[in-house]
Amino acid sequence: MTSEPSASDNAALEQRTPLGYPARLIAPGENLESITETIGSIVLKPHQRQPKAWFFAAAGAFTCLMMFFVAIGWLLYNGTGIWGIGIPIAWGFAIVNFVWWVGIGHAGTFISAILLLLHQKWRTAINRFTETMTLCAISCAGLFPLLHLGRPWVAFWMLPYPDTMDLWPQFRSPLVWDMFAVGTYFTVSLIFWYCGLIPDLATIRDRATTRGRRLIYGILALGWRNSATHWQRHQMAYLLLAGIATPLVLSVHSVVGMDFAVAMVPGWHETIIPPYFVAGAIYSGFAMMLNILLPIRWLYGLHNIITPRHLNNIGNIMLVLGNMVAYSYIIEEFMAWYSGDIFEESTMADRSFGPYGWFFWALIVINILVPQALWSRRVRLNPVALFCVAFSANVGMWLDHFMIIVVSLTHDFTPSVWRMYYPTFWDWATMFGSVGLFLTLILMFVRFLPLIAISETREHAAKK
Amino acid sequence: MNTNGNIYGLMAEFGNDQEILAATRSAYDHGYRKMDAFAPFPVDGLPEALGRKKTAVPIIVLAGGISGCLGGYFLQWYAAVVSYPQNIGGRPLNSWPMFIPITFEVTILSAAFAAIIGMLALNKLPLPYHPLFNVPEFERASSDKFFLCIEANDPKFDLKETRRFLQMLKPELIMEVPTGE
């Protein structure tokens, strides 16, 4: 049995698409039963047989999560004065992190919805995972504006409801749009994710050996019994959800971008901001996906399902998006010059040659130049190289948001109000704490839910 | 003794999607209507072979989207024009271009809720118990086997006759599904 896959592995290496890339969606030797086994067993294996690395990762992530709670507790006790923000730099790390996390949350629905509509069958191996990543990232993102309110306990004032104060939210404000956009995005992503998860939960229910698991997965599977009639409605609902989620993905970061584009601050007030933010968002989402997915692929031995073809395609998409971001940088500089606006010109000059100039040049290197390595097929097919490029882009996108949000605020219209921004310990603690929250949620998902869409993968195996 | 009293139906097990498709087609041609097929993934043409028509899911989603669109706009219009009018630079109170983003978001949100709730309601889910779960082999419907179940309340159902018919389809197994009462 073991010699068989290795012989056909060679055949798989020979099978290539017209452009010369590996063509396999699923490794040879996989069948319906083995796919269920490969993916389902990750969830159902007893604790003792789980990879040790999972426990170490979970311990690290949980420690960061505890730090997050401490930072939030201290913030609620003291107020936002513990952060480095003030006037004129009223939007500091909290908003940078918000925009960064929302961006990371864009890959999931992009892969799930847009690639589904485009019949990109390779999405199957990674869609569940990235959808989950979306939910975790939006959970982190949503916390930051709330914490930044100063009085998070009255956050519900942002909701439109007939209150005793006789007030309504200002519906003409992009900040209110933002709450609707991010809230809708989270809810729709959750619905889409759960809709796809129902049949897989039924698979786990049917494989579960203990009564507790049968009960929990049974409740979550809602009594799904794989009826053809049910599948018909399920597929239709899933397709329609993809259709309505597609404009949603493009709208969310556009609305986040409008928080800036509608404001008058030089460096924010640009029409290119919404599309540029969308490109950057999907870019950072793909980068974060690689940073999480590659270790998990290695840890759980999912090489048969997440094949070189997937890595190659993800690399290609990242390259395109990275260059769209580079194009946006060029247009930003060009428009500042072309507008003839003295404030825009001054901000752009300050960005590259002012006190934060090294941020800008670091950004150009790690966000634009390093990802050019993806032109090489060898880099795209090498998991380690891909991981490094993705990590670089991830940090790069954070720097990008820092440059747009904070550096623009340090240098607005009147020189007498120009200030530097210095993050405090609590800024960093909140930021790395949110990474802890993100990783904890991801690790819990990997342990307790099927991280690859089993029924969709089966469909490919059956048609092979 | 009522022969069909404690039997929900007869179920046949098949090994792949082509077999279940052929079996379902011939069962339909044979006159059976109250039946259902089960597969670990959506099989093209299987609902049609069972005689199922188009689903109502798209209409429900459309209705959800339209009501979300109208509701979302109404919310903003009511707040900005009727309940809490504010003169901002002499601009019209019903400043519709500024209401588009939220109208759009609420449209999507309602359509998504309509899709998932509509799908589950039409499927009559959640339904924790079903007679089919009494058959141990049925667990493999969620992994690698395909099942066709002809229900006892089909007018043409007859325990012996239907069993003979199913045998003709050359299934891997034929099982009686007890009602579990």
pLDDT (tens digit per residue) in B18-33: 999 999 999 999 889 9
Nearest-CB residue to A223 (from B46, B115, B126): B126
Q: Where are the beta strands (DSSP E) in A256-344?
A: none
Instruction: Give the list of residues 6+ apart from residue A261 with CB closer than 8 angstroms, or none.
Output: A268, A269, A270, A271, A273, A274
Question: Could you tell me if B97 and A236 are in contact, meaning their C-beta atoms sit under 8 angstroms apart?
Answer: no
- From A199, A244, A215, A25, select the one nearest A124 (Cα to Cα): A25
Q: How far apart are CA A46 and CA A419, in angstroms?
A: 56
Q: Using pLDDT thresholds of 50, 70 and 90, give the confidence band for residue A12.
A: very low
Please report the pLDDT score of residue B179 as a whole number.
85
Q: For residues A313-322, b (16+ Cβ closer than 10 Å) or e, as one string?
A: bbbebbbebb
Tell me which DSSP letter residue A403 carries: I
Nearest-CB residue to A171 (from B43, B57, B76): B76
pLDDT at residue A380 greater than cutoff 50: yes
- From A410, A89, A100, select the one nearest A256 (Cα to Cα): A100
Helix residue ranges, H only, A340-382: 342-353, 357-363, 377-381
| Contacts A218 to B, Cβ<8 Å | 128
Instruction: Answer whether the bond into residue A46 is a cis peptide, omega within 30°.
Output: no
pLDDT at residue A9 greater than cutoff 70: no
Please report the pLDDT score of residue A2 as a whole number.
36
Residue A82 exposed, middle or buried by CB count within 10 Å (0-12, 13-18, 19+): middle
Nearest-CB residue to B130 (from A199, A203, A225): A225
Q: For residue A423, count other CB atoms closer than 10 A to its CB.
A: 17
Chain A residue closest in CA terms to B82: A168
Q: What is the DSSP string of A18-77?
A: TTS-B--SS-TT--HHHHHHHHHHHHHS-GGGS-HHHHHHHHHHHHHHHHHHHHHHHHHH
Sheet of B146-151, strand order? B35-38, B146-151, B7-14, B173-178
Q: Using pLDDT thresholds of 50, 70 and 90, give the confidence band for residue A21.
A: low
Q: What are phi and psi of A234, to 5 degrees?
A: -60, -45
pLDDT (tens digit per residue) in A170-216: 999 999 999 999 999 999 999 999 999 999 999 999 888 889 888 99
> Over B86-139, what HEC string results?
CCCCCCCCCCHHHHHHHHHHHHHHHHHHHHHHHHHHHCCCCCCCCHHHHCHHHH
Q: How far apart are CA A378 and CA A382, in angstroms?
A: 6
Interchain pair A234, B126: CB under 8 A:
no
Chain B residue closest in CA terms to A231: B42
Interchain pair A33, B133: CB under 8 A:
no
Question: Could you tell me if A124 and A455 are in contact, meaning their C-beta atoms sit under 8 angstroms apart?
Answer: no
Please report the pLDDT score of residue A15 as a whole number.
59
For chain A, say whether B21 makes contact (Cβ under 8 Å).
no
CA–CA–CA angle A71, A75, A80 (5° rounding): 130
**Mean of pLDDT over chain A:** 88
CB pairs under 8 A between A and B: 189
Type of residue found at B140? R
For chain B, say whether A181 makes contact (Cβ under 8 Å).
yes
The share of chain A scoring above pLDDT 70, in percent, equals 93
**Whose structure tokens read 């667990």?**
B139
pLDDT at residue A4 greater than cutoff 60: no
| Contacts A167 to B, Cβ<8 Å | 84
Shortest Cα–Cα distance, A378 to chain B (Å)? 35
pLDDT (tens digit per residue) in B34-48: 999 999 999 989 999
For chain B, say whether A82 makes contact (Cβ under 8 Å).
no
Q: How far apart are CA B76 and CA B86, in angstroms?
A: 13
For chain A, say whether B100 makes contact (Cβ under 8 Å).
no
The share of chain A scoring above pLDDT 90, in percent, equals 64
Question: Could you tell me if A256 and B160 are in contact, meaning their C-beta atoms sit under 8 angstroms apart?
Answer: no
pLDDT (tens digit per residue) in A23-47: 566 666 677 778 777 787 788 877 7
Q: How far apart are CA A186 and CA A243, in angstroms?
A: 16
**Whose structure tokens read 């900040």?**
A175
Interchain pair B128, A219: CB under 8 A:
yes
Q: How far apart are CA A344 and CA B73, in angstroms?
A: 36
**Predicted model pTM:** 0.91
pLDDT (tens digit per residue) in B119-170: 999 999 899 889 899 888 888 888 889 999 999 888 888 888 899 999 988 8
> What's the whole-number mean pLDDT along residues A68-95?
93
For chain A, say whether B15 makes contact (Cβ under 8 Å).
no
A29: region left, alpha or beta (phi > 0 left; psi from -120 to 50 alpha): left
Q: How far apart are CA A422 and CA A163, in angstroms?
A: 39
**Per-window interface: B 114-173 vs A, CB < 8 A:** 115-116, 118-120, 122-123, 125-130, 132-133, 138-144
Q: Using pLDDT thresholds of 50, 70 and 90, give the confidence band for residue A18.
A: low
pLDDT (tens digit per residue) in B48-88: 999 888 899 999 999 999 999 999 999 999 999 999 998 88
pLDDT at residue B96 greater than cutoff 90: yes
Q: For residue A363, count other CB atoms closer than 10 A to its CB.
A: 22
Please report the pLDDT score of residue A207 as a whole number.
86
Q: For residue A34, count other CB atoms closer than 10 A to its CB.
A: 15
Whether ipTM exceeds 0.90: yes
